[in-house]
Structure 1
């Protein structure tokens, strides 16, 4: 008997086209694109073994890969407005089988449009199928409201509602309105996560068959984004509902490697009439670098730009620099090997797609707040500060905490840059 856990495949359908909210699946909520939020929730689930994003859009594919998902390119026939989500899930399962993956026992259909789904929600849906014997499962939130519907117009062949006919109670008798605690609890389908046994799903061709288990989730986190108003509400709620991101401490990191343009600067370049380039940097970053150096952390500036300003800034900060580098990941790997630094104990700060190979190498990939969507989606942590506005100083505060407080002796004797 195999000791391997059953294969649980999470499929996230994410088309490029959206009429209600253009480019909806790439819209950021809490600084993270919706598709990356869905990938992160699936990757956080302990029972999920594979995360697939089914898409017809190159931008979505790039963000999904950066967040750690495998991409399934959806054919044109399954990319139109009339294509069903079930067809995309079946195509993803077929593609996984063609790639030689272990046959899946359970498939989870996870939607990008539910931005506040958690890894625990995903795990509980998987558990309903793996442990409780359900054939299908879905997330549902307790609902205590009274539902009404406009009465259908009499004599209309199509059964259209007639506003003049009045309202009809759907889940209640309007002549008897019991107290909330005296009436049965209704559950509202959230649209976040659906789970199916793969064999049953292939046989039925739809997501509900056999015994269906309702997995209760927090109604406060229940929100589906279908129009711009939903997106605006999600962005307003994100600071309240998003769990604080995991941040590194001094015990987690031995080295800090910094990109230059867009992280230590705001990515703008000033060019004078003689073609000389200058940039603006933040003095707080110099304070942060000095504190990191005093704390014994190894430091490096790593840049693809062959620009004297990069070397000049490194000299000012008194840290080594590698610039004019085509393959930053190879240079970083060699730097770590030569110094005996474990890559998993390196914090790398970046802002653009050329930083992604380094993100895949280190234990702490960090994006500045102003980073490209793909980079934010791939980051383990994101600064609240944009590049060039003190992001390095913020990271120093993560790692060193009160040692950067101006009231401490360390900070009082710190030399500004």
Structure 2
């Protein structure tokens, strides 16, 4: 049985330009969706349908097949169903196989889980439903404004009408029927029925319940800000079986910013202009264990300062400093060593680290990093910079004991 997950991801977005490549928790939205679909048990194949080369490249890097849709299906008025049908036809032609169940998965729902995807897929592929949709329990009273009502409570308002309730009767929550809110995250359809109906709902629809705390659709910049603020909490909670933090199996190299990451971002200057900084002995221990574990290590700093070079010599790791474009230097360093940037952990604290965050697979912010840096990170330490944050990262990768020992 072939179960195909299709993720529509246009390049154009009127509300949030470049939305589908926007990082949440340090991972582009389209890659987050691909990751959860690939981890969903019933799903056999994942396709991203797009008109954008950048999105296509990100989809392939995440492990999906990228299908370039025609211009007629790439405009703001094109339906998701039309894009899924085109992807379905293209996939079957390329693979020479018939799809039994097709999924529509929205990457604009950043906290979609593999359990959500597996749930809708299994409801159709194994449970006998014609279609399935993710829903969340909903207990609110819904009102609808009358035509011409501006909803602002000012002059000219014509009032509202209760939709799912009688405004004159306010039953207790436990006495009301359970309503469900369509989350917009994941749908599944019998492929043959979908071709006939050309819509995501037909026949018997199964409701797959999901966690209401994870329901968020990104339609405007404020939604994206909320998603980035929630990511450290919801990603740390993680879907069942998903690692919230990187392990040694995920990482081939660790690259560290210096000021604010290995220090507390303060410097002392003597009368002769010489700078001194404070570092944490625990960070030195963590770096020694990382080196002993066979990881490639690098200190990458914008500042040119003798203390950076001295720290690198003491820790026996290379230093690149006085770098204006840290991302270009990092990309070149990875290429010289044959390291996949997707398997690099980069730890930083300030906005000049953000270009490197967009390059690596594991962008990490220290606890006291600036807000935009924490928002773009895939993981955030509990420990501030200069107070053992690097040792904490080493603990993620090698375990609390930081084994193996040198």
Flag whether TM exceeds 0.5 (same fold): yes
Which aligned pairs between 1:391-406 and structure 2 lie closer than 5 A? 393-403=391-401
C-alpha displacement at 1:354, in angstroms?
8.3
Q: CA offsets per residue over residues 368-387 of structure 1, 9 Å max, x none?
A: 565343633899x95547xx
Per the alignment, do residues 174 and 45 of structure 1 end up closer, same or farther by CA in structure 2, a change over 3 Å counting? same
Paired residue for 1:199? 192
C-alpha displacement at 1:114, in angstroms?
0.8
Aligned length: 335
2:135/2:183 contact within 8 Å kept: yes
Matched, 1:118 2:113: yes
Which aligned pairs between 1:252-263 and structure 2 lie closer than 5 A? 257-258=252-253, 263=256
Paired residue for 2:76? 81
Paired residue for 2:135? 140
1:143/1:185 contact within 8 Å kept: yes
1:114/1:222 contact within 8 Å kept: yes
Question: 40, 46, 49: which is aligned to 1:45?
Answer: 40
Matched, 1:56 2:51: yes
Gap runs ≥5 in structure 2? 149-154, 260-276, 300-308, 320-328, 365-376
C-alpha displacement at 1:18, in angstroms?
0.7
Paired residue for 2:102? 107
TM-score with structure 1 length normalisation?
Answer: 0.68
Which aligned pairs between 1:8-407 and structure 2 lie closer than 5 A? 8-152=3-147, 164-242=157-235, 243=237, 245-247=243-245, 257-258=252-253, 263=256, 287-293=285-291, 296-300=292-296, 317-318=315-316, 352=331, 355=334, 358-359=339-340, 366=345, 368=347, 370=353, 371-373=356-358, 375-376=360-361, 384=380, 393-403=391-401
Name the CA distance, whole Å, in 1 between partners of 2:257 and 2:229: 29
Gap runs ≥5 in structure 1? 1-5, 154-161, 267-280, 304-310, 322-349
Name the CA distance, whole Å, in 2 between partners of 1:193 and 1:116: 11
Name the CA distance, whole Å, in 2 between partners of 1:282 and 1:199: 66
TM-score with structure 2 length normalisation?
Answer: 0.70
Name the CA distance, whole Å, in 1 between partners of 2:295 and 2:341: 19
Per the alignment, do residues 40 and 194 of structure 1 end up closer, same or farther by CA in structure 2, a change over 3 Å counting? same
Name the CA distance, whole Å, in 1 between partners of 2:34 and 2:334: 20
Name the CA distance, whole Å, in 2 between partners of 1:233 and 1:136: 31
The CA RMSD over aligned residues, in Å, is 4.0
Name the CA distance, whole Å, in 2 between partners of 1:80 and 1:66: 25
Q: CA offsets per residue over residues 13-52 of structure 1, 9 Å max, x none?
A: 1111111111111222222221111111112211111111
